[in-house]
Structure 1
Amino acid sequence: MAYDVARIRSWFPALEHGWALFDGPGGTQTPRQVGAAIASTLTGPLSNRGRLGESAQRADDAVAEFRDAVADLTGADPRGVVHGRSATQLVYDFSRHLSRGWGPGDEVVVTRLDHDSNVRPWVQAAERAGATVRWVAFDPATGELPVEAVASALNERTRLVAVTAASNLIGTMPDLPSIAAAVHAVDALLFVDGVHHAAHHLPDVRALGADFLTCSPYKFLGPHCGLLVADPALLEAIAPDKLLPATDAVPERFEFGTLPYELLAGVTAAVDVLADLAGPAASPETPVAEIGADASGSRRTRLERAYAALHEHESRLLARLESALADLPGTTVHARASRRTPTLLATFAGREASVVSDALAADRVLAPSGNFYALEASRHLGLGDAGGLRVGLAPYTDDEDVDRLVAALRRVVR
């Protein structure tokens, strides 16, 4: 089935407000199916996990279904799926877990391309342990992060390398399998920020070569929380601080307190909606459990088909947008890598990006400005802390949205 963006847009009540939304990299809108899953879980019988009674079983099932859905999305083992309040929280947690064995002489590698959540926790953990931090820069002219640049920072003292699967600022997608090979050749761990990547490309933690991969469901139609996936055997080797009565089983040993079952159900629903992007039509009122029920293939197979259709849709819109921006006088687009997500960062001669963003908002076009917590990347591009205007596509972006953005930009810039 072809990518039917009108069908997809009908799932999102937020789009009825009439704005053209290009803020997807900061968080997508939420479809009705996800809201319904959260509401039904939260308002139905619900108690602490167990198998005694419907309320306990529903909580238990919500957790199991969440792990299965995330495993299908990321190519992981369900036993290696960890829930967290946010991706940032999970990185901080694991920076503390993993740095316990670090000391003087050990080294950690971070990049100038990454969101600060995959930089600062590792820098701070290394400083506490007395370990050395090595920085890897990307090419500001091309936006590329060369594999050779990462490899040259590695040696037998390297303990961990933190790198993004896709820059949330300029969309660059580094060659992670090659980076992973270099990292593993020195027996180091690779911690991958997959937050922006998962919104546009179907993750495969094994193919990427990541030892750890984080994602944020609210970047791909889900609720506000975070998740981490890793090999269960690797998680078994990590001993976090925890309450004495709390289970020591993996992955539960990393999830502190009672889980938010309603959010877990929302994540499962979001994965099912993603799997239906290129599947048979479902109305906005279709129960989440029935979405894709008559589709052929496993959920992972449907996700592969859906992401392929999404990539084709977003690539077409991106080509239109890039062509229009190339004709705007005084406009510089900083997203230039050969492999990148449909996310652009632009600056304008003689105009602050924040002023352009405000002018677009007056036309009900939302394209925010800033560094978006990719502070090192913004500074490395020579944009300081102010950054630029970020334009990101989402599954519900259509041609009319692009037309409105281009027309508004032409009025502002010219």
Structure 2
Amino acid sequence: MPLVDLRRQHRLIRKRVHSAIKRVLKSGHFVLGEEVARFEREWAAYCGVPHAVGTASGAAALHLAMLVLDIGPGDEVITVPFTFIATVSEITRTGARPVFVDIEPRSYTLDVAKLVEKIEREYVFNERIGYWVNRATLRRLKAIVPVHLYGQMADMRPILDVARRYNLRVIEDAAQAHGAEYRDATAPPAKAGSLGDVGCFSFYPSKNLGACGEAGAIVTRNGEWAARLHRLVNNGRGDGAWHLEEGFNYRLDALQAAILRAKLRYLDRWNERRRELAALYRQKLSDVAEIVLPEEMPYARHVYHLFVVRVPDRDRVRQALNEQGIGAAVHYPVPLHLQPAYRHLGYAPGDFPIAEACARTVLSLPLYPELREKDVARIARALRDALSAARR
């Protein structure tokens, strides 16, 4: 039983997806064009914002978001060490320096109290340039990148308050949070990606909304940024033959846009099924003391891109599940501050204890809309057995 089974999904929606592909083949337009424009409008409407710009991948979306917010050499951007590497690699790609803040252990997202503590301890406000400056590196602090992990949003309201207080931009990494919502008493529910200055999505095939290849998008309420993003994805091209600046070949192709349009109508239904299966997992595992189950935060509507538990002796437990044909996996086994690629940042083991503890204990169990109740029951039994064996 794999962690994700895209073949099951394809069997259920094959006719609609094949029809979308045939429509593009018949049109003869494979790059940009009306199919991409329609998907951008539909995705913007779904997220509750005026603008969406399709990109070649989620990493491309993050890179462009940094550029449109004028992040580059001499700048710093705060994010978390417990995420996929693209969150950080697209910061360094601009010439900026990533700065890590530990996660909160219940949601696995940015710890806002530690964020404020970090800024107050390590930065000072420079009135001449209007930015907070790192006392040690003399770099400007420009932005925060909260990561909505495993299908649940970070606590955005206090993050936005911090951003206003310290004159920072907010880039939502929503690559794992398609359709997730933020809820509080002060405003209507808001979709992931709609609260920051920009929101970045990946449509990698295994996502809650996945293409049949690489794809991504940026959403924003700012029309000027959206217009520039449309240029940047297409080599900086404006009207006609004019290139207003250097850009990138980050275009979303029409085939992927058509497939995403075909799948978008199912997203809410799929997310609701994920929630049902997550509830069933909880029911089957709630009495196992060694298991830390995922928690839906009071402000959040979780869409369970991944169902992640924490267990002792994780690697042995995972191996036992894998030997029974259950595709348990780990997201993520090494926090980014300990990766060789970021050794130059000067971090050491123990700097971010919550991220490191999670990296040692998290275990992703199979969860996708086509999973059956009897599959969940089997996985839960196997997990119980694996934990019992690990205790012996």
Q: TM-score, normalised by structure 2?
A: 0.69
Query: Aligned pair 1:220/2:208, yes or no?
Result: yes
Q: For the residues of structure 2 that align with 1:321 and 1:241, how far apart are their CA atoms?
A: 41
Which segments of 5 or more consecutive residues in structure 2 lack a partner in the other structure? Answer: 120-124, 126-130, 133-140, 183-188, 339-351
Matches within 5 A, 1:180-219: 180-198=160-178, 200-201=180-181, 204=190, 208-217=194-203, 218=205, 219=207
1:258 deviates by 6.4
Q: 1:229 — aligned with what?
A: 219
User: Partner residue of 1:368?
Assistant: 329
- 1:119-138 alignment to 2 at 5 Å? 119-123=88-92, 125=94, 128-129=95-96, 133-138=98-103
Match of 1:73 among 37, 41, 46: 46
2:280 alignment counterpart: 320
Determine the structure 2 residue equivalent to 1:108: 77
**1:183-221: per-residue Cα shift (whole Å, max 9, x none)?**
133332100111211155499469852111111233124
Change in 2 beyond 3 A, CA 1:92/1:360:
farther
Q: 1:385 to 1:406 in 2, by over 3 A?
A: closer
Equivalent pairs: percent with the same residue?
A: 16
- Give the SS at the match of 1:197: coil
Distance change (3 Å), C-alpha of 1:86 and 1:264: same
Aligned length in residues: 336
Which residue matches 1:9?
Answer: none
- Structure 1 residue 177 corresponds to structure 2 residue 160: no
Tell me which amino acid in the other structure corresponds to 1:61: E
| SS in structure 1 at match of 2:382 | helix
- Partners of 2:72 and 2:109 in 1: CA distance: 32
Pairs within 5 Å for 1:54-65: 60-65=33-38
Q: Return the structure number with greater relative CO, CA threshold 8 A, min gap 6.
A: 1
Tell me if structure 1 keeps the 8 A contact 2:163–2:169. Answer: yes
Label 1:74 to 1:374 Cα distance change in 2 as closer, same or farther (>3 A). Answer: farther
Q: Which stretch of structure 1 is more off in the superposition, 62-71 or 241-250?
A: 241-250
Instruction: Name the CA shift for 1:95/1:270 in 2 (closer, same or farther; >3 Å).
Output: same
- The CA deviation at 1:42 is 4.0
> Which stretches in structure 1 are left out of the alignment for 5+ residues?
1-18, 50-58, 278-305
Task: Tell me, yes or no, if the aligned pair for 1:23 and 1:391 is still in contact at 8 Å.
Answer: no
Alignment of 1:16-165 (within 5 A): 19=1, 21-23=2-4, 29-30=9-10, 31-33=13-15, 35-47=17-29, 60-77=33-50, 80-96=51-67, 98=69, 102-103=73-74, 106-123=75-92, 125=94, 128-129=95-96, 133-140=98-105, 143=108, 145-154=110-119, 156-157=131-132, 158-164=141-147
When the two chains are superposed, the root-mean-square deviation of aligned CA atoms in Å is: 4.1
Partner SS for 1:266: helix
Task: Report how far residue 68 of structure 1 moved.
Answer: 1.7
Deviations 1:199-252 (A, max 9, x none): 5549946985211111123312431311111222234467859647654899x9
CA contact (8 A) 1:357 1:368 kept: no
